[in-house]
Amino acid sequence: MVAVNLYSFFLNYQRAIVRHGWAYARELKEIHDQRDLNRRLRELKRQRFIQDRRVGHHMELSLTEQGKITLYLDRLRNQHDSGTVVTLIIFDIPETERLIRRQFRQFLKQAGFKKLQQSVWIRRADVYGTAQDVLRHLKAERWVIVLRTNDPLGH
Q: Are 25 and 13 in contact (CB under 8 A)?
A: yes
pLDDT digit string, tens, across residues 98-139: 888 888 888 888 888 999 988 899 988 888 888 888 888 888
13 CB-near residues (< 8 Å, 6+ apart):
25, 28, 29
Q: Is residue 155 scored above 60 in pLDDT?
A: no
Report domain 65-150's class.
alpha beta
Going by pLDDT thresholds of 50, 70 and 90, the confidence category of residue 1 is low
Mean pLDDT of 37-64: 86
Domain range list for the chain: 2-46, 65-150
143 CB-near residues (< 8 Å, 6+ apart):
91, 92, 93, 94, 97
pLDDT of residue 79: 74
SS3 content of the chain, % helix, strand, coil (to 5): 55, 20, 20
Mean pLDDT of 88-92: 92
Residue 92, CA distances (Å) to 74, 118, 123, 124 in order: 25, 10, 18, 22
Q: Is residue 65 scored above 60 in pLDDT?
A: yes
Going by pLDDT thresholds of 50, 70 and 90, the confidence category of residue 70 is confident
- Distance in angstroms (rounded) separating the CA atoms of residues 114 and 88: 10
